[in-house]
Structure 1
Amino acid sequence: MELTGSEILVQCLREQGVDTVFGYPGGCILNVYDALYKHSDEITHILTSHEQGASHAADGYARATGKVGVCMATSGPGATNLVTGIATAYMDSIPIIAITCNVAVSLLGRDSFQEIDIAGVTMPITKHNFIVKDVNKLADTVRRAFKIAKEGRPGPVLIDITKDVTANKAEYERKEPEQVKRITDSIKAEDIEAAVKMIEASKKPYVFVGGGAIASGADTQLNEFVHKIDSPVADTLMGKGAFNGTDPLYTGMLGMHGTKASNYGVSQCDLLVVVGARFSDRVYGNAKKFAANAKIMQFDVDPAEINKNIKTDASIIGDVKVILEKLNEKLSQMNHKEWITEVKSYEESHPMTYHKGVLTGPYIIEKIYEATHGDAIISTEVGQHQMWAAQYYKYKAPRQLLTSGGLGTMGYGLGAAIGAKMACKDKLVFNIAGDGCFRMNMNEIATATRYNIPVIEVVVNNHVLGMVRQWQDLFYGQRYSQTVLNDRVDFAKVAEGLGAKGYTVSTCEEFDNAVKEAIKLNIPVVIDAQIDKDDKVFPMVAPGAPISECFGEEDVAEKFGR
């Protein structure tokens, strides 16, 4: 049947199973929004307060479900406002489709009103992008974009469509989505055999898990693998929940703000098995001294990640779920009781602690964990609160923590929370924010109230840019340049002005009550939780130092002379 480009686009979204789109209209994309209006009973559109909020919401939707998230915006500034969200998804390998519309073909390259080469702008931060100038190519382009976003290492894809293409007509025939196959051809039998021999020869193995294990849906296989080789487990920020955070073999996050148990354990192990992690600089600290006693074996779907930052002794390229399945078939049950006891001694002698009796970031996270029984979806902004959320909430399953790991995007979390709640309506969704981050995206509270999306925003408010101040305090001679936010903004009143319920709390008891009430209300809520400006995230590794030199609050006086 013959349809306009806009109708073809909507039908292709329906083909792909898209039920929710986040976006903001404008002149060049009007035809698409007109088509969406006619299909509002099939595809829900969420009008965000800012296009960046739409891209983060699509990202949150994708992280919470494993499906492809979709956002859209008009040409020019609408399209460029998506860029930070696209880059956030790119750095963390999140599958989203960003749909923009540009000026008509006849107006391209003429500095037309709201014209921008968004394909050129986003080329370095997308897995692939397209500009569609022929309506006859639109359907196949959309289908190809979804496949690219999902296959192999996932990532964002941008489709820019000229306005005349959205109005022109072409024949459309529905097609079932092409099945995305797992990458297995690169998994060599000899590599599997070599890995088995290295694992069996190890006396002190350690498993290090990243976001690739979540992307491949490998949590069941990972659990079997870990218990079969009887190894302690550390994870990255992106890998939270791939291995159950309540399992006795779990030792916490690795790296700059990882636990001392994980940092010491990895520094002492003789084999580090890396599952779907890319070795961020925040993980390895000093590359020359990272896991210096260990052979390193890396499993990853992306060959570009092998030997990029850390030299490996062995590797297997391919889908990590399939790799683990093949290894589990060949491995026999192992026992490393003495090694596990050694690592556990690090936990016992260096426990995660914080000051009791006053409202602090760790207390806030632990109370949210208790109130939600560890079953909530937690999104975060970026900074101290993000690290506390990683350290003190025990993620029992994949896709519970939504956070900007690679790009470190302040302003990410609230949009992501809205996307996650739209996808997982039966789940409690909390966004953990700092006061600096909340200023960047507080307008999305209006989105939550417009549609009554009951997200709970907890602002860990220390009236400073906490993580930057922590660095200034420790490494910059306590010169607090432009990091003090001690002004007269009342976040609870801002929330109420945007239609949400607002609380201001400064004690443990007040916070406990506010969280309980927020859960019962089932409406958008903002809790402004006031903590001390000098609370810090510990443990910590100084930039460029080996992770074995992580230090806690108890070490600050000796290390820094105060």
Structure 2
Amino acid sequence: MSSSFNGADGLVRMLQLNGVKHIFGLCGDTSLPFYDAMARLDHGIDHILTRDERSAGYMADGYARVTGKVGVCEGPSGGGATYLLPGLVEANESSVPVLGITSDVSVGARGKFPLTELDQQALYKPLTKWNTTIDRVDQIPGAVRSAFRAMTTGRPGAAHIALPYDVQKHALDPAEVWAQPGHDRVPAYRSAPDPVAVEQAAERLVTARAPVIICGGGVVIAGASDALATLATQLNAPVCTTVSGQGSLADTHPLNAGVVGTNGGVAATRAVVAQADLVLFVGCRAGSTTTEHWQMPPRSVAILHLDVDPMTIATNYRTDVALVGDALLGLLALAAAVAPRLGHRPVDAADGRALAARARAEKQAFFAPLAASLDRPIKPERVVDLLNRLLPARAIVVADPGTPCPYFSAYFNAPQAGRHFITNRAHGALGFSMSAGVGAAFGQPDSVVVSVMGDGSFGFTCGELETIVRRNVPLKMIVFSNSVFGWIKASQKTGYEQRYFSVDFNRTQHARVAEAFGVKAWRVEDPSELEAALKAALMHDGPALVDVISQELQDTAVPVSQWMG
């Protein structure tokens, strides 16, 4: 580090010391010193130039979800700072550690109406776990340390740093540049629940006749799948998951009953929760989607709740035992406390394996004929069924929140636990899956990554096809082409007497668009030709897209129990 070491250099070194290997972002004039530092210094960080700051945020999100490391995205002041925001909002509400770095106008220009001036700190404050705007160069190292500490401890979340143009060029003492080990990934500084509460919860679990465990994304984030399997097996208790909790157990585990709730839940999994006399929520907010607007489980059921964030506990349900702590440490403690009590299980205790098996069988019986249908337009179930059979182990599917989400939530089967299904359930913005799939591909380069999206989402994000080709990202993309914003049209059908208004649009030739960017592509109208196209796309050694002419969502057997009314 030379005597000319400046603020931009310090930021790059701080990222390097925190284990950052990839940054997703878009250039701008107020970011020039930072880009120059990236060009001059030997840091081992790969910068992925995107075509939209929103995409950079979603790429960082997907990267963080599959690695457990902090995802980093960056953009310039003004419009760049506003465009980066959707990715950070989604990450923060989904408990994903993403750092957004935006450059800003010079400190000396504040209040003088410079181009792109914006109160970035006020903009990002309510929408991130932690944020700051730098005023002096000596604040840079401490700000980065605070951001990484905030993102990775407690409930993970997003952080934001605004770095003015002139501060990037000021001299910085290299001695201030150091990082705290362990803050590069989640979860850092694990905490365990109160031992007294653990004993109380264990007694409740053992004496319950029909306990059910409902898991959110916190189980996967904490790496607690094995501990969950141990506790569930001890109790012979069925496990249900939220959409974000998929991967808490392998989908092949005999106690995994599947997804519950209004999005991806079906009558068979709802029945598993309905028969419970006690529900243990783990790493789960018990929000409206998971609980079907707080109807399932019913209010009469005993509730235990384990979560790292105390503000999620007892928010929606009166809770009999609150367990505040990390999901892994909490589940290990519960398993240890349950073990010596197992002799006190009720003689008429429900058979969790049988309940889960029945739920899976009933769901499959409904799904199979739809997946086998040769009707046109193509039924989305056929796509899911083929991917279940064709994808290799450890594949990752990234779904947009429109047409793909409920189908893959209900019917996609990953043969192992962990993060193998991703969707943006916090805010549900369209245009997520293509970019998040790119991030996932950089984070797990040895896994096959498939991005599934509706044609509405494709319109938000297709500019990133250039990024995919330029970086030769072997992402496999599937577009459900039905020329409609399906969720809204379905809601207009069920809640507004089919008064359809401003939800239909013209069909796009998605395969031809992809080919224009240099992506190998197929268009499929005949369901009998779908398998061959998907096989060819998966075998292709570069990016590939399959355009599937599919049913409109409001006319399908989509596993959604309640639309907006």
- Shorter-chain TM-score range: over 0.9
Distance change (3 Å), C-alpha of 1:39 and 1:455: farther
Once residues 439 and 93 of structure 2 are traced to their aligned partners in structure 1, the CA distance between those partners, rounded to angstroms, is 19
Distance 1:289 1:338 in 2: 20
Distance 1:381 1:40 in 2: 37
Opposite residue 201 of structure 2, the aligned amino acid is A
Write the letter of the residue equivalent to 2:562.
Answer: A
Q: Is residue 191 from structure 1 mapped to residue 193 from structure 2 by the alignment?
A: no
Partner residue, 1:175:
178
Q: Deviations over 1:410-433 (max 9, x none)?
A: 011111000010111111000010
Alignment pair present for 1:98 and 2:117: no
Bigger mean CA offset, 37-46 vs 192-201: 37-46
1:179 is displaced (CA, Å) by 3.1
**Residue 284 of structure 2 corresponds to which residue in structure 1?**
277
- Mark the CA change 1:537 to 1:35 in structure 2 (over 3 Å): closer, same or farther: farther
Counterpart check, 1:418 vs 2:438: yes
Letter in 2 for 1:412: F
Match of 1:137 among 123, 132, 139: 139
Match of 1:235 among 218, 235, 241: 241
1:560 equivalent in structure 2: none
> What SS does the corresponding residue of 1:493 show, helix, strand or coil?
helix
Aligned to 1:245: 251
Rounded Cα–Cα distance in structure 2 between residues aligned with 1:338 and 1:420: 38
CA-to-aligned-CA distance 1:519-561 (integer Å, 9 cap, x gap): 221211111001122542544323599xxxxxxxxxxxxxxxx
The 5 A counterparts of 1:431-470 are 431-470=451-490
1:60 is aligned to 2:62 = yes
| Map of 2:408 onto structure 1 | 389
Which residue of structure 2 aligns with residue 219 of structure 1? 225
Cα shift readout 1:368-393 (whole Å, capped 9, x = no counterpart): 12111353111111112111111121
Alignment of 1:354-393 (within 5 A): 354-355=369-370, 356-358=372-374, 359-393=378-412
Give the letter for the 1:512 counterpart: E
Q: What is the alpha-carbon distance in structure 2 between the residues aligned to residue 213 and residue 424 of structure 1?
A: 20
Aligned residues of 2:287 and 2:293 also touching (Cα < 8 A)? no
CA contact (8 A) 1:436 1:464 kept: yes
Deviation at 1:484, TM superposition (A): 1.4
Single out whichever of 312-321 and 37-46 deviates more from structure 2: 37-46
Query: What is the CA distance between 1:509 and its match in structure 2?
Result: 3.1
- Is the 2:270–2:296 contact (alpha carbons within 8 Å) kept by the matching residues of 1? no
- AA of the residue aligned to 1:519: L
Task: Please say if residues 207 and 274 of structure 1, whose CA atoms lie closer than 8 Å, have aligned partners that are also in contact.
Answer: yes
1:195-235 alpha-carbon deviations (Å, 9 max, x no partner): 01101110101010000111111111111111111111110
Residue 424 (structure 2) aligns with: 404
Summarize the Cα distance change of 1:298–1:398 in structure 2 as closer, same or farther, 3 Å threshold: same
Segment of structure 1 superposing worse, 218-227 or 347-356? 347-356
Distance 1:416 1:67 in 2: 15
**Aligned-pair CA distance for 1:489:** 2.1
How many residues align? The count is 544
- Quote how far apart the aligned CAs of 1:183 are: 5.4
Asked if the contact 2:223–2:328 (Cα under 8 Å) also holds between the matched residues in 1, the reply is: yes
The TM-score with structure 2 as length reference comes to 0.92
Partner of residue 484, structure 1: 504
**Alpha-carbon spacing, 1:347–1:380, altered in 2? closer, same or farther (3 Å):** closer
* Worse-superposed segment, 279-288 or 218-227: 279-288
Amino acid in structure 2 at the alignment position of 1:227: T
Aligned AA (2:25)? G
Task: Please report how far the alpha carbon of residue 293 of structure 1 lies from its aligned counterpart in structure 2 after TM superposition.
Answer: 4.3
Percent identity of equivalent pairs: 29
Measure the CA separation in 2 of the matches of 1:189 and 1:337: 27
With over 3 angstroms needed to count, the CA separation of the structure-2 counterparts of 1:286 and 1:493, relative to structure 1, is closer
- C-alpha separation between the residues in 2 aligned to 1:130 and 1:532? 47
Question: Kindly tell me: are residues 539 and 156 of structure 1, through their superposed partners in 2, closer, same or farther at Cα, counting changes over 3 Å?
Answer: same
Q: Distance in 2 between matches of 1:190 and 1:16?
A: 37
Greater mean alpha carbon deviation, residues 183-192 or residues 449-458 = 183-192
Task: Name which of 484, 488, 512 aligns with 2:531.
Answer: 512
Q: Is the 8 A contact 1:374 1:394 kept in 2?
A: no
Tell me, in whole angstroms, the C-alpha distance in 1 between the residues paired with 2:352 and 2:137: 63
Aligned ranges 1:333-344 → 2 under 5 Å: 333=342, 336=349, 338=351, 340-342=353-355, 344=357
- Alpha-carbon distance change, 176 to 90 in structure 1, aligned in 2, over 3 angstroms: closer
C-alpha distance in 1 between matches for 2:28 and 2:450: 31
Structure 2 unaligned runs (5+)? none
1:247-274 per-position Cα deviation (integer Å, ceiling 9, x unaligned): 1211111111302222122122001011
SS at match of 1:196: helix
Structure 1 counterpart SS, 2:147: helix
